[in-house]
């Protein structure tokens, strides 16, 4: 079988949050990301699915959440992403240190990883993230209404870090099937980078370390649910899906998510991956200037709108309690 073209970098990262009002308040009013799609979990429409991104909602800039207010906290451990990395412009971390202090965001000291200045922090629901100074990994559109000045706004997804019980099976899968290359090793972490990356791999990277003694992690509030990697179109997606299947990873069928097409599978270490197409994008059912302002349902859920809206909490509280530093 001909080896397919590699994935093009991160498309989105989806995590599990707690209260949706708190989630919206933090990611829009503190981190300054734009809510580009307000929808529901298509497999269980009782919770929201909230999508935050740059001003245009471009692939690679998008972090999304299923807010399950009454779910248990996630359990850190092998097979679960431990930290989500976001790109900010060079020289921006002092601004973010001051901003996080103003909003009582829990941070860790500045550090350098793989030559990049990094500021780890924790969101209100226990999710571990980090801001990383690097060149923009993807095309970026500032959001004019953001409380964060354009010169300091989060640019894109930078990458993710995860501990695995065994590293070798995942290393073989990433390099032989997904098209990653090994970039380097630091403090027990091995960096894997997809083609097209800049510098140490911004937007195209996955950091992994072997942790044979750690317990298996579990999804819950504050944990990443899956990492989605960009493919050009359904043809590219199908070719990669075949390679994933040939490697014994049992991918799902292609699932229509309306804004993109998706294929899901577990990589050998237990992290859930998705292959997501670039388009048609978030503007297929909304005016680009009005993204995220109303509840959007895919066509197959539209007949159930009244029942869905009846169980969703009101997010207006987050807008009315907006604060700026």
pLDDT in tens, 258-301: 999 999 999 999 999 999 999 999 999 999 999 999 999 999 99
pTM (two decimals): 0.96
**Average pLDDT score, the chain:** 95
Q: Does residue 325 lie within any of the structural domains? A: no
- Confidence band for 316, pLDDT divided at 50, 70 and 90: confident
- pLDDT at residue 322 greater than cutoff 70: no
Q: In angstroms, rounded to a whole number, what is the distance separating the alpha carbons of residues 87 and 106?
A: 19
Average of per-residue pLDDT across 113-126? 98
Q: How many domains does the chain have?
A: 1
- Confidence band for 2, pLDDT divided at 50, 70 and 90: confident
Q: Does residue 228 lie within any of the structural domains? A: yes
3-state secondary structure of 92: coil
pLDDT at 52: 98
pLDDT at 320: 53
Task: Indicate the range of 73-87, 160-174, 188-202, 219-233 predicted with least confidence.
Answer: 188-202
Q: Which is more confidently placed, 199 or 248?
A: 248
pLDDT at 113: 97
Can you say whether the dihedral through the CA atoms of 92, 93, 98, 99 is positive or negative? positive
Token readout for 20 is 């949706």
Q: In angstroms, rounded to a whole number, what is the distance separating the alpha carbons of residues 77 and 223?
A: 10
Q: What is the CATH number of the domain that holds 278?
A: 3.10.180.10
Closest CA to 52 of 156, 187, 182: 156
**3-state helix, strand and coil shares in percent for the chain, rounded to the nearest 5:** 20, 35, 45
- pLDDT at residue 28 greater than cutoff 60: yes
Q: Does residue 3 lie within any of the structural domains? A: no
pLDDT at 319: 59
Q: Which strand (E) or helix (H) includes residue 37?
A: strand 34-40
Q: Does residue 5 lie within any of the structural domains? A: no
Average of per-residue pLDDT across 199-206? 93
- Confidence band for 199, pLDDT divided at 50, 70 and 90: confident
pLDDT at 294: 95
Q: Does residue 89 lie within any of the structural domains? A: yes
Closest CA to 86 of 43, 31, 46: 31
Q: Does residue 268 lie within any of the structural domains? A: yes
- Confidence band for 239, pLDDT divided at 50, 70 and 90: very high
- Confidence band for 188, pLDDT divided at 50, 70 and 90: very high
Residue 245's domain comprises: 10-320
pLDDT at 27: 98
- Confidence band for 209, pLDDT divided at 50, 70 and 90: very high
Average of per-residue pLDDT across 313-323? 69
- pLDDT at residue 325 greater than cutoff 80: no
Q: With beta carbons less than 8 A apart as the criterion, state whether 226 and 62 touch.
A: no
- Confidence band for 200, pLDDT divided at 50, 70 and 90: confident
Q: In angstroms, rounded to a whole number, what is the distance separating the alpha carbons of residues 151 and 91?
A: 10
Q: In angstroms, rounded to a whole number, what is the distance separating the alpha carbons of residues 100 and 122?
A: 10
Average of per-residue pLDDT across 229-235? 98
Q: In angstroms, rounded to a whole number, what is the distance separating the alpha carbons of residues 325 and 322?
A: 10
Sheet holding 255-256, edge to edge: 34-40, 48-53, 62-67, 10-17, 224-231, 272-277, 261-266, 255-256
Q: With beta carbons less than 8 A apart as the criterion, state whether 162 and 170 touch.
A: no
Average of per-residue pLDDT across 218-243? 98
């Amino acid at each position: 079988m001909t080896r397919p073209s590699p994935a093009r970098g991160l498309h989105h990262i989806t995590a599990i949050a707690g209260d949706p009002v708190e989630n919206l308040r933090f990611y829009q009013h503190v981190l300054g990301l734009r809510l580009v799609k307000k929808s529901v979990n298509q497999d269980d429409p009782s919770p929201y699915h909230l999508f935050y991104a740059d001003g245009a909602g471009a692939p690679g800039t998008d972090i999304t959440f299923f807010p399950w207010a009454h779910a248990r906290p996630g359990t850190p451990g092998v097979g679960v992403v431990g930290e989500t990395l976001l790109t900010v412009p060079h020289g921006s971390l002092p601004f973010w240190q001051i901003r996080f202090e103003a909003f009582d965001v829990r941070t860790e000291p500045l550090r350098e990883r793989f030559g990049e200045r990094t500021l780890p922090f924790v969101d209100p629901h226990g999710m571990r993230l980090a801001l990383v100074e690097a060149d923009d990994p993807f095309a970026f559109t500032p959001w004019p209404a953001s409380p964060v000045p354009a010169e300091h706004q989060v640019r894109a997804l930078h990458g993710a870090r995860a501990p695995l019980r065994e590293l070798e099976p995942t290393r073989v899968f990433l390099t032989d099937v997904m098209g990653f290359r090994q970039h380097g090793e630091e403090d027990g972490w091995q960096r894997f980078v997809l083609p097209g990356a800049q510098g140490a791999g911004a937007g195209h990277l996955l950091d992994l370390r072997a942790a044979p003694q750690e317990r298996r992690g579990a999804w819950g509030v504050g944990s990443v649910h899956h990492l989605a990697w960009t493919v050009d179109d359904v043809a590219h997606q199908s070719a990669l899906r075949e390679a994933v299947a040939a490697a014994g990873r049992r991918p799902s069928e292609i699932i229509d998510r309306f804004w993109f097409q998706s294929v899901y599978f577990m990589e050998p270490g237990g992290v859930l991956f998705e292959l997501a197409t670039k388009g048609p994008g978030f503007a297929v059912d909304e005016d680009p200037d009005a993204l995220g302002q109303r509840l959007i349902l895919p066509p197959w859920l539209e007949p159930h709108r009244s029942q869905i809206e009846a169980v969703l909490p009101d997010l207006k509280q987050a807008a009315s309690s907006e604060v700026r530093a």
